[in-house]
Amino acid sequence: MNFQIQDECIYWHLVGMVTDTVSSGTYLDHYGILKTNISAQVDPETYTIRPDADWWTFQKKFNTLSKNRKKLLEEYPPGLYVQDFGENIGVHFYGLDDQGIMVNGYPDTAGFSNAIGLGFQEDHSHGFCQTYAIMHILGIDIGLESRDSKDDDRHEVYMRNGHKALDFLKDFTRDHPWGWENSEEFEDQLPEINCEYDKDEMKSLLKALVNKEKPKKKGKKTKKDKTIYLTDIVQVIVNNSDHFENWFK
């Protein structure tokens, strides 16, 4: 899929669509990956997690059980554990593997015992925390780099990790297919982002995605497949990496 995106706002809508989809409960449930949302409500005045938030109860119990891996995994099976900060604020994804180790895409362990701060993404950055967590719980190693490099190289390390995350998502969404029945359904589900995209360019992109050559069933006449496939969206993102690199500037 070799469509060239001119409008950077379209690019970020596509990235948001991909990360929102692969981390959605519907998608993950379909492919047998556990996702658990835990409230971490933020105080609107101090912008810190409220002391009565469910997140602290979860973390305290997790740390207590981490001394016994069997009991820990009975209570908290491997999967994605989502720190939900509340409406219009966002979420952060952690991954728990089958060894009872909790991982964070950021460099720190975020208060968990028996945990690893992977250091694959910059502190407080948005982006691929869900992707790094999925990769970890599936045991997939594609050579991501930690921040243990020289300070002046750190920015480049995070950017390279982002490109590798996209390559992973390209393969992952091909092997775990997903799609929207038509361009109208796709556009209706685009995430809210603080920019207005070029309607004509988006229309051209969706037309190209719908008209992409689909496999034909031998000896059978089939209706035109208007499905927009998730893996094709990832391919468009990968093919327009100049916009991706602007994200890291």
Give me the pLDDT at residue 220, please.
59
The answer to whether residues 50 and 108 belong to one domain is: yes
The answer to whether residues 118 and 180 belong to one domain is: no
Phi then psi dihedrals of residue 237, to 5 deg = -65, -45
The answer to whether residues 40 and 14 belong to one domain is: no
Phi then psi dihedrals of residue 94, to 5 deg = -115, 155
Query: Across residues 206-218, what is the average pLDDT?
Result: 71
Residue with the bigger pLDDT between 211 and 66: it is: 66
Residue 30 CA: distances (Å) to CA of 41, 83, 191, 228: 28, 21, 21, 18
Give me the pLDDT at residue 185, please.
93
Give me the pLDDT at residue 215, please.
55
The answer to whether residues 41 and 143 belong to one domain is: yes
CA distance 173 to 72: 30
The answer to whether residues 145 and 36 belong to one domain is: yes
The answer to whether residues 6 and 79 belong to one domain is: no
Report the amino acid identity of residue 3: F
- pTM attached to this predicted model: 0.87
Contacts of 60 (CB under 8 A, 6+ apart): none
Q: Is residue 168 part of a domain?
A: no
Residue with the bigger pLDDT between 149 and 21: it is: 21
Q: 153, 186, 203 — which closes off a domain?
A: 153
User: Residue 68: is its pLDDT beyond 60?
Assistant: yes
The answer to whether residues 36 and 148 belong to one domain is: yes
Give me the pLDDT at residue 192, please.
85
Query: Across residues 73-95, what is the average pLDDT?
Result: 92
The distance between the two most distant Cα atoms of the chain, rounded to a whole number of Å, is: 65
The answer to whether residues 206 and 137 belong to one domain is: no
The answer to whether residues 70 and 107 belong to one domain is: yes
Q: 100, 121, 153 — which closes off a domain?
A: 153
| Structure-block tokens of residue 203 | 């229309």
* Domain count within the chain: 2
Mapped onto helix, strand or coil, the DSSP state of residue 96 is strand
Q: What is the pLDDT of residues 115-127, one digit of tens each?
A: 999 888 876 666 7
Q: Is residue 85 part of a domain?
A: yes
Residue with the bigger pLDDT between 121 and 205: it is: 205
Q: Is residue 158 part of a domain?
A: no
Q: 153, 168, 186 — which closes off a domain?
A: 153
Give me the pLDDT at residue 214, please.
56
Q: What is the pLDDT of residues 219-229, one digit of tens each?
A: 555 566 789 99
Residue with the bigger pLDDT between 1 and 131: it is: 131
Q: Is residue 191 part of a domain?
A: yes
Q: Which domain holds residue 127?
A: 32-153
CA distance 147 to 121: 8
Give me the DSSP letters along 188-249.
HTPPP-SS---HHHHHHHHHHHHTS--PPPTT-------PEEHHHHHHHHHHTHHHHHHHT-
The answer to whether residues 76 and 147 belong to one domain is: yes
The answer to whether residues 27 and 45 belong to one domain is: no
User: Residue 100: is its pLDDT beyond 70?
Assistant: yes
The answer to whether residues 26 and 70 belong to one domain is: no
